[in-house]
Amino acid sequence: MGMNPKASEILSLEGKVAMITGAASGIGLATAKLLAKEGASIALIDVDETKGKKAEEQIKELGVKAKFFPCDVASDSDCKKTTEDVYREFGRIDILFNNAGVTRRKDIVELSEEEWDLVLNVNLKAIYLLSRHVIPHMINQGGGSIINTGSGWGLKGGPKAAAYCAAKGGVVNLTRAMAIDHGRQGIRVNCVCPGDVDTPLLHDEAAQLGEDEAEFMKKAADRPLNRIGQSEDIANAVLYFASDMSSWVTGSILVVDGGGLA
């Protein structure tokens, strides 16, 4: 790299390995594709094996090494085994995108304890579990980049989403805590907070709330930039955090929501 490299050179992920959770669809899959196009090898992590295998084929078509690993990110033993398998397969882990997510659109009174546990475990606990197994590898290789998926509702409240708001608020502050703890080890930890993005998760929310899907999507587009988010919008932000473009950025919370929070 010369003294004044082009942006494209700084964004390059050649020789890097990215581990992505929730990688079989939505934001995870879009990010896997974008990071692969920048040269990264991709470890796809998801609980959905059918979609996960399909995703692996799609990424391989982009000319990079890719492998799907089935994993329940809320299980410590799964996270430990998967991390070991990824490290054995790829030899290193440079980027961890903690993106797996689930929601239950209910207030506290309606929410069962099982639903609370599910939402907190998949959205928040999973970041702790996977990171604790990946970070030692990153320390050994001299650094890395961890990106967590938060939410606009991690920064403000939302209706009928008590467990989700609690979990995503936790993700935002956990990101800051991890950034403080691991900065000296060359590990950067940042958080992307999407607004409503056109993913299977969002369509599922409409169903949970018993709302007309077209109407629900129209409401979701009601923000200054006047459209619903696309998975690629979030993938672009993840690429920024994964690459050397953000080499002096850690503990940062980036809202990508078409102006909704504003």
Sequence-ordered list of residues with C-beta below 8 angstroms from that of 131, at least 6 positions apart, any chain: 96, 98, 146, 178
Q: How far apart are CA 158 and CA 103, in angstroms?
A: 12
Rounded to the nearest 5 degrees, what angle is found at the Cα of 247, between the Cα atoms of 20 and 64?
40
Where is 206: in which H helix or E strand? helix 200-208
Sequence-ordered list of residues with C-beta below 8 angstroms from that of 168, at least 6 positions apart, any chain: 123, 124, 150, 151, 153, 154, 193
Query: Phi and psi (nearest 5°) for 191?
Result: -135, 135
Residue type, 136: P
164 is catalytic: yes
Q: Can you read off the two tokens belonging to residue 195?
A: 């607004």
Q: How far apart are CA 94 and CA 185, in angstroms?
A: 13
Q: Which single residue is written with the structure tokens 């990264």?
A: 40
Residue 81: helix, strand or coil by DSSP? helix
Question: If we measure between CA atoms, which residue out of 241, 226, 240, 166 comes closest to residue 195?
Answer: 226
Contact between residue 245 and residue 35 where contact means Cβ atoms under 8 Å apart: no
How many helices (H) and strands (E) the chain has is answered by: 10, 7
Residue 102: helix, strand or coil by DSSP? coil
Catalytically annotated residues: 164
